[in-house]
Structure 1
Amino acid sequence: MALRPLHDNWTLTAVSGPIPQEVAQAAVAATVPGCVHTDLHAVGLIAAPFDDDNESAQQWIGSTLWRYETEFDWHDDGSDRHDLVADGLDTVAAIEVNGRVVAETQNQHRGYRFDLGAHLRDGTNTLAITFRAPVDEAEARSAEHGPRPHVNHHPYNALRKAAFNFGWDWGIDVATSGIWRPIGLDSWTGVRIAAVRPLVDLARRDDGVDGVLDAHIDLDWSEVSTGEPVRVTVSVGGTSISEQVAQGAAGVVVSIRVPDVQPWWPAGHGEQPLYSVEVALDRAGEAVDHWSSRVGFRTVAVDTTPDAEGTPFVLRVNDKVIQVRGANWIPDHAFVTEIDVDRYRRRVRDAVEANMNLLRVWGGGIYESDDFYDACDEAGILVWQDFLFACAAYAEEAWLADEVEAEATQAIVRLSPHPSLVIWNGNNENIWGHEDWGWKEPLDGRTWGLGYYLSLLPSLVAELDPTRFYSPASPYSFAEGIHPNDESHGTMHIWDVWNTLDYSEYRRHRPRFASEFGFQGPPAWTTLVDAVHDEPLDPYGHQMLVHQKAADGNLKLERGMAGHLPEPRSIEEWHWATQLNQAAAVRFGIEHFRSLSPRNTGAIVWQLNDSWPVVSWAAVDFAERRKPLWFALRDVYEPRLATFQPRESGLALIVLNDTDEPWRGEVALQRTTFDGRVLAESVQTLSIAARGEATIGLDPEFTDHADAAGEIVVARLDGFATAVHNPVELVAQRLDPDALDVEVRPAADEPGVTLVQVTARAYVRDITLLVDRYAPDATVDQGLVTLLAGETAVFRVAGGGDADPATLQDPAVLQHGNALHRGRAAAV
């Protein structure tokens, strides 16, 4: 029994809609899996969708019916069943075999299996799939069933299709159609393994720990199968158990206790051992079917028991509290079929190297490929998985609810082997939206999704995978009668800062768990200008605004810099200043949130990645270039962090030790001038428990500044990054814009690596090499490096080919906060 892929020799044609003449006449060679946009671009029928304002010019694609067609040879091999297996069809489709419609689908988020036996003929067969226009279909269903509130301009909530695909405040509107996951023919006889849920637990002994595996195995039987029983054998960790199953039985649960397993841990808490699980099905000694995957043995719990301060949100893995340092994840490409296993692994590596331990898969995207979860399993990156509901009201009647139940069931089952997956979440912002976004009047008593979040989804998780925690929503307070976005209860989203407030207002919030917050900045210069070609380049140029999807986004960028940085005088300064301000804002927020430990147990920044080249909240842009924000996240997510924070008694140094080793050492405090002259100093000994924190109040000699524009306070601790307190904002500091001595040289023992050594003659803030302006393929090992007078840093720049290394000293490449004062009157 083997699935025969049907991925070859497909053609694509436009059936009806506002079709350009040159497309109407074309039969395009189609890639499967793939989508219409990428196929049309591959043959030159449309321009690159992400460039210029091609988004608006290509809106007709989402209002067009598309037909995929192929031929394949088939000969009856005597099997009982011949099933068409379609893992992903996007979205409302009619499937034809040899000219006859045999099935219809209406959900991108689930797979389908149809028996084609009665429709196949010996020899050549034709398979065709016609996709209805997704934009028109969403609008028609919304009108038919009654429009319900949603953000953005298309009624994506009327269709079970990825919401982001219709455009978002960071996403391009490219409503796709296509066969987006594998498709094939499965010929089988008698019985097959329909699904396996390998649910795990730990059984602790005095001298070790055993792994417990309950393999829930669902079986599918053909009508003409014999009455003989079958044997199911489950093997894991060197242990095997077999069970006999009667003919026609729906399934069986096989339980195994695996002695002396090594538990799976999140990054920073231990190793990530993975155990192969094999399920074999045989009848009368003959192999019939086989299934394999990997598991990690671990336990998961989230504590929301009310306490004196409200309702916590404390994630525990293997009974150990995990302080979450994470990011929200969106689909890594607007055309999701373009994301391969290597791209997934590079993004997960971005998370690992930024000291993250969790990614939240946001509800407006997709249930990602197993390649994503595999990479997280191996790296120890926890996954919080939203069910796919975002920023909208959803009908609960059967026309939509039946599909919701089917897709959720498949997702829970498919993802159940992955130890990285620890939280299922009902929706993104929908309960909050119903409370605060003016939904109640237009809904007028109609259903809006609450039944999914409080009944259907938790019941499915409880039935199919009770080993994982379920949260009804994000944000959510886990307390009856409490606002869903209350900072003292459960999870919180903080968007007033980006939308209306200065980023210093992050300190006004004291969230128990911050599951969304963030600040915008542009992508790398090269990423930007490869897609935006306004002449001259300007923040408010037409194409620039096409690549800025947030409402009044550039105005918010300007407001967000005011009072922090000098006003930019050129597009180059705008680019650097907005990138720097994005990093500063998020760093400010996370340092504050982490300083609230143990009240606060996690921060999940919006967002790790981008789906196209755009001004956005991402830390890694679409071209996979790490923005300054990424370096800020790496620093602020260090397990050991020292940060200056205001407290009721005055300025304090908060020291966090999120490691398994206690820390004891000296804390050296200094108040200095920018040129290094010491104005006050002290040394004291401090002890911090493992996974603990400590607070040191500062005496007036460190906080009473004679010259706030020219002084800083510094804390040095062995094993921690130096903490610096700036009494006033960069815009008001008397910073020397030319205080660096620079030396560029090739690395002696690393071919292709160039070293850039910088030495500060005075205090220099946030030194960053924008290496894409040196060479598009160049990378650098660090950024946002702050140096005190006399200190030196060495940057390792890889790549660059034949580019002139001297360019690395160019002010357009070698940037820092001080440089924003260049050519301006000194602060007084």
Structure 2
Amino acid sequence: MAPRILSLDGVWYLRGFKPGEGEKKGAYKEDYKTDGWIKARVPGVVHLDLLENGLIPDPFYGLNEEKVRWVEEMEWWYRREFDLPEDIVNMDAVEIHFMGLDTFATIWLNGVKVGETDNMFIPWVFDVKKLVKPGRNVIAIKFAPPTKTLEEIKAREEKMKRVFLPPRAYGRKAQYSFGWDWAPRLPTSGIWRSVKLIAYNTARLGHIAALPVKVTKEEADMRVEAEVYAIREVEARITFELSYGEERYDKVVQLRLEPGYNEVRTSIRVPKPKLWWPHGYGPQNLYQFKVKLEGEGELLDEKSTRVGIRSIELVQEPDEEGKSFIFKINGVPIFCKGANWIPADSFLPRVTREKYEALLNMVVEANMNMLRVWGGGIYEDDVFYDLCDEKGIMIWHDFMFACAAYPEKSWFIENVKREVEEVVKRLRNHPSIVLWCGDNECEWAESGRVISHRIIPDICARLDPTRPYWPSSPYGGKDPNSPHEGDRHSWDVWHGWLDYDGYTHDPARFVSEFGIQSPPDMETIEAFTAPEDRWFFSKVMEYHNKQPHGNERIFWYLIMHYRIPRDLEELVYWAQVNQGEGLKTGIEHWRRRKFRTSGCLIWQLNDCWPVVSWSLIDYYLRPKASYYIVKRAFSPILVSLVKEGESVSVYIVSDKLVDMNGKLEFMVQDVNGNIFYREAIDVKVPANSSIRVMSKDLKDLPISDRTTQYLLARLLVGDKVVSENVLFLERVKHLKLPKPNIKAEVKKVDPKGLRFLVRIRTDKYAKAVKLKLMGIKAKFSDNYFDLLPNTVKEVIVEVEEPTSEEEIRRKLTVTSIYTVE
């Protein structure tokens, strides 16, 4: 008989007590009355239930984060009743599985203490066979105050180096929840992932895995394995099956199970495997993997998942600049384009499949192929990794340690070992994960080396030999943040106050963090401010930038390149564009260096609350101007102009795996559309390369007024422009950009009124053209683009509700940046 599973998700009851009072009052007892308790939702966290019941204000609004600080100081209790039929109670084993408890929990069942937990990242399983009974059962869970608990641990342990709230490093809880330079201090408590009761006879399956240990085009050697938990000694049969469409490959293992934990391992050979590729390089083929456990003449358990077959190599070879750092997938070197992922909410149960999918779709649409799951957050829900598998998004995966020296005593190390084993076993089937990384910036912080250099790599080597392991980020050479080997966090720009042209002097081999801040969309600002707070240096606006003096720094970077904005709306617009142009400077530089530099990951993709931060996409999924500018800079084919001394060079970067022939046009033009110089040459661009195709001395070009003239390069394949770029030789604030006359035409291209083609034209150079539909939620295929004189740009606009052409015309606004009225 297959296991019986009873979900304990849904409605529970919740109450807060002063620390220690709940137990004194008997809140764990079977007959305790829950009069006055509030309804709670599981999965959930305390803050969400208090908010739902009107007991706290929205922590994201104004200065309310401070008003809810009391929540983390309380002890919180959850209770619920559930009925069990006699046949479940009489099965050989009855277990309760908590997929996530946040964090310091004590569990009672029918008045009897079951166990305690101290790690939010892993599942907790308790044997409750002797405690359950037919009919009514009562479960009670106490959550100790997280900060107080950690402060008590800190007081009795060694003092070590760390930033932000120091006690955080003594617990296995999401580090960002205690506050970061982009996150509020909202440490949560609660049953944040699902709860289920599992009853079974004889034996059940645990984790299963199919790992591609050796892959060629001709054959893949798959290591397949399964965990089996047996009640007693029994003869068993385990069938492993890999399938793709009509193809089937299986292996049967007969064995005698011992009571307790068993591990079964064998191999399956797959001829001519259908390989999994990153986005932009090939299809994301996924195999079905199924494991059946049979014994005593019946099916005891069955599990299935999806796996991908691909090879990964991290190439680190000496060269003239130091040592390379190149990911090869299926033998093909990949330039990694992407961003750092942080948890998508401070209250994690609010992150739905729909939110994951929306964000990950935006990743793919921005021409990205990699995300770094940052080490101060969480190991995400399974759906996140499933979607990355489907979409071809590679994952650089940190373990959850960040910016601290962590304890190295046995009590902490044993907790870490269990966490790492559970995480690797849960996630190793996902082909999207291409690297395990020990931590974020702990090596840079000169922390201890036991966890990242011994504990984690030993477990990864044993459980997952298919992926490279990297001890920390950044890491490389005698200098952990070396530009000559390993990965680098490029923060001379922004944290070091260097202007963003400083990126062009950074020869990093792989940039795993770089970034510039900007405010979120005005609608987002309006969601967390009152009208009187809507100026950039108001207390609320400063509070919603968690970096000290962050708003002042944004303003400083802005006025280095742009004129002083007249109001908040103009500041938001210009600062987002400035952020994008800074990121573009870095991206184009590192892509021109392909594969001397082999990747650049922006800090950061997303936000966990409405905030002024480094993100490309704000908390409400509104893309900033920088999102679109980055999308163009990450295009598979990129023309890039760069001033090198007193000359200008034109590069073409191609991520395509075939050679390409085309024509390069190079021009000197002015903002009114006058052409002063034109040249066209035939070019051949090798596959997967960066090549300099032209270099010109500026003194030889007819440039007489740098405030109105610019350089233009475009690549044509046939009659199609596949990439174009411009270069001004002065900063925007010094340009004479006339106010353009921009015209927009709207045409419905979907009979349902959900898709429209907008054709935009201008008589003069239009800087950072911004399209917006007032009062209509819309998605634009492109936005915040520069429009050249007497040219036409086509943009696809998608809306969520059927809309007429007339309404789109009426509500469409078109804005640009100009300096001359």
* Counterpart residue type for residue 713 of structure 1: L
Determine whether 1:583 maps to 2:580: yes
- 1:656 Cα deviation after fit: 0.6
Q: Which runs of 5 or more structure 1 residues have no equivalent in the other structure?
A: 435-447, 824-828
Instruction: Report the equivalent of 2:556.
Output: 559
Mapping 1:605-754, distance limit 5 Å = 605-647=602-644, 650-695=647-692, 696-700=694-698, 703=701, 705-718=703-716, 719-743=721-745, 749=751, 751-753=753-755
Mapping 1:182-193, distance limit 5 Å = 182-193=194-205
Looking at structure 2, the residues matched to 800 and 198 of structure 1 have their Cα atoms a distance apart, in angstroms, of 40
Closer, same or farther: CA 8–731 of 1 in aligned 2, 3 Å: closer
Mapping 1:298-377, distance limit 5 Å = 298-377=310-389
Instruction: Report the equivalent of 2:61.
Output: 51
* Counterpart residue type for residue 6 of structure 1: L
Instruction: Report the equivalent of 2:486.
Output: 490
- 1:606 Cα deviation after fit: 0.8
Looking at structure 2, the residues matched to 743 and 194 of structure 1 have their Cα atoms a distance apart, in angstroms, of 59
Closer, same or farther: CA 81–748 of 1 in aligned 2, 3 Å: closer
Determine whether 1:215 maps to 2:224: yes
Instruction: Report the equivalent of 1:826.
Output: none
Instruction: Report the equivalent of 2:26.
Output: none
2:473 touches 2:488 (CA, 8 Å); kept in 1? yes
2:646 touches 2:697 (CA, 8 Å); kept in 1? no
Q: CA RMSD in A?
A: 2.2
1:730 touches 1:817 (CA, 8 Å); kept in 2? no
Query: What does the per-residue CA deviation read over 1:66-121, in whole Å, with 9 as the maximum and x for residues that have no partner?
Result: 00001112244322221111110000000011122110000001111111122223
Closer, same or farther: CA 305–596 of 1 in aligned 2, 3 Å: same
* Counterpart residue type for residue 108 of structure 1: M
Looking at structure 2, the residues matched to 168 and 42 of structure 1 have their Cα atoms a distance apart, in angstroms, of 26
Mapping 1:383-394, distance limit 5 Å = 383-394=395-406
Mapping 1:1-400, distance limit 5 Å = 1-16=3-18, 26-77=36-87, 78-153=90-165, 155-204=167-216, 208-222=217-231, 225=232, 227-237=233-243, 238-248=248-258, 250-400=262-412
Identity over aligned residues, as a percent? 32
Looking at structure 1, the residues matched to 81 and 463 of structure 2 have their Cα atoms a distance apart, in angstroms, of 39
- 1:173 Cα deviation after fit: 1.4
Looking at structure 2, the residues matched to 15 and 559 of structure 1 have their Cα atoms a distance apart, in angstroms, of 47
1:73 touches 1:124 (CA, 8 Å); kept in 2? yes
SS at match of 2:300: strand
Looking at structure 1, the residues matched to 442 and 58 of structure 2 have their Cα atoms a distance apart, in angstroms, of 34
Looking at structure 2, the residues matched to 701 and 230 of structure 1 have their Cα atoms a distance apart, in angstroms, of 82
2:752 touches 2:802 (CA, 8 Å); kept in 1? no
Looking at structure 1, the residues matched to 754 and 594 of structure 2 have their Cα atoms a distance apart, in angstroms, of 43
2:573 touches 2:625 (CA, 8 Å); kept in 1? no
Looking at structure 2, the residues matched to 745 and 228 of structure 1 have their Cα atoms a distance apart, in angstroms, of 70
Moved more, 698-707 or 575-584: 698-707
- 1:601 Cα deviation after fit: 0.4
Looking at structure 2, the residues matched to 694 and 414 of structure 1 have their Cα atoms a distance apart, in angstroms, of 42
Instruction: Report the equivalent of 2:782.
Output: 782
Closer, same or farther: CA 686–796 of 1 in aligned 2, 3 Å: closer
SS at match of 2:519: coil
Instruction: Report the equivalent of 1:439.
Output: none
Looking at structure 1, the residues matched to 750 and 360 of structure 2 have their Cα atoms a distance apart, in angstroms, of 31
Instruction: Report the equivalent of 2:797.
Output: 797
1:142 touches 1:148 (CA, 8 Å); kept in 2? no
Determine whether 1:760 maps to 2:762: yes
Looking at structure 2, the residues matched to 603 and 271 of structure 1 have their Cα atoms a distance apart, in angstroms, of 23
* Counterpart residue type for residue 472 of structure 2: A
Instruction: Report the equivalent of 2:24.
Output: none
1:808 touches 1:814 (CA, 8 Å); kept in 2? no
1:35 touches 1:180 (CA, 8 Å); kept in 2? yes
Mapping 1:414-429, distance limit 5 Å = 414-429=426-441
SS at match of 1:497: coil
Looking at structure 2, the residues matched to 333 and 625 of structure 1 have their Cα atoms a distance apart, in angstroms, of 15
- 1:613 Cα deviation after fit: 0.8
Looking at structure 2, the residues matched to 822 and 14 of structure 1 have their Cα atoms a distance apart, in angstroms, of 61
Determine whether 1:403 maps to 2:415: yes
* Counterpart residue type for residue 716 of structure 1: R
SS at match of 1:795: strand
Number of aligned residue pairs: give it.
793
Closer, same or farther: CA 703–516 of 1 in aligned 2, 3 Å: farther
* Counterpart residue type for residue 517 of structure 1: F
Q: Which runs of 5 or more structure 2 residues have no equivalent in the other structure?
A: 22-33
SS at match of 1:498: coil
Looking at structure 1, the residues matched to 807 and 816 of structure 2 have their Cα atoms a distance apart, in angstroms, of 16
- 1:675 Cα deviation after fit: 1.4
1:425 touches 1:473 (CA, 8 Å); kept in 2? yes
- 1:749 Cα deviation after fit: 4.5
SS at match of 2:768: strand
SS at match of 1:291: strand
SS at match of 2:548: coil
1:326 touches 1:358 (CA, 8 Å); kept in 2? yes
Looking at structure 2, the residues matched to 270 and 392 of structure 1 have their Cα atoms a distance apart, in angstroms, of 39
Looking at structure 1, the residues matched to 755 and 289 of structure 2 have their Cα atoms a distance apart, in angstroms, of 43
Closer, same or farther: CA 805–715 of 1 in aligned 2, 3 Å: same
Query: What does the per-residue CA deviation read over 1:148-173, in whole Å, with 9 as the maximum and x for residues that have no partner?
Result: 22222352111100011111111121
Looking at structure 1, the residues matched to 589 and 559 of structure 2 have their Cα atoms a distance apart, in angstroms, of 21
Instruction: Report the equivalent of 2:27.
Output: none
SS at match of 2:581: helix
Looking at structure 2, the residues matched to 611 and 486 of structure 1 have their Cα atoms a distance apart, in angstroms, of 30
1:329 touches 1:608 (CA, 8 Å); kept in 2? yes
1:18 touches 1:60 (CA, 8 Å); kept in 2? no
Looking at structure 2, the residues matched to 555 and 589 of structure 1 have their Cα atoms a distance apart, in angstroms, of 22
- 1:505 Cα deviation after fit: 1.2
Moved more, 637-646 or 751-760: 751-760
- 1:714 Cα deviation after fit: 0.6
Runs of 4+ in 1 over 6 A off after TM superposition: 800-812
Instruction: Report the equivalent of 1:462.
Output: 461
Query: What does the per-residue CA deviation read over 1:344-399, in whole Å, with 9 as the maximum and x for residues that have no partner?
Result: 11111111000000111000010001100000100111111100001111111122
Query: What does the per-residue CA deviation read over 1:206-236, in whole Å, with 9 as the maximum and x for residues that have no partner?
Result: xx522322112222122xx2x4310110011
1:517 touches 1:605 (CA, 8 Å); kept in 2? yes
- 1:812 Cα deviation after fit: 11
Instruction: Report the equivalent of 1:769.
Output: 771
SS at match of 1:431: coil
Instruction: Report the equivalent of 1:442.
Output: none
Looking at structure 2, the residues matched to 286 and 804 of structure 1 have their Cα atoms a distance apart, in angstroms, of 61
SS at match of 1:89: coil
Looking at structure 2, the residues matched to 645 and 617 of structure 1 have their Cα atoms a distance apart, in angstroms, of 25
Looking at structure 1, the residues matched to 38 and 482 of structure 2 have their Cα atoms a distance apart, in angstroms, of 53
Determine whether 1:503 maps to 2:496: no
* Counterpart residue type for residue 587 of structure 2: I
Looking at structure 2, the residues matched to 338 and 779 of structure 1 have their Cα atoms a distance apart, in angstroms, of 23
1:169 touches 1:549 (CA, 8 Å); kept in 2? yes
2:677 touches 2:702 (CA, 8 Å); kept in 1? no
- 1:607 Cα deviation after fit: 1.1
- TM-score normalized with structure 1 length: 0.92
* Counterpart residue type for residue 402 of structure 2: A
- 1:536 Cα deviation after fit: 4.9
- 1:808 Cα deviation after fit: 7.7
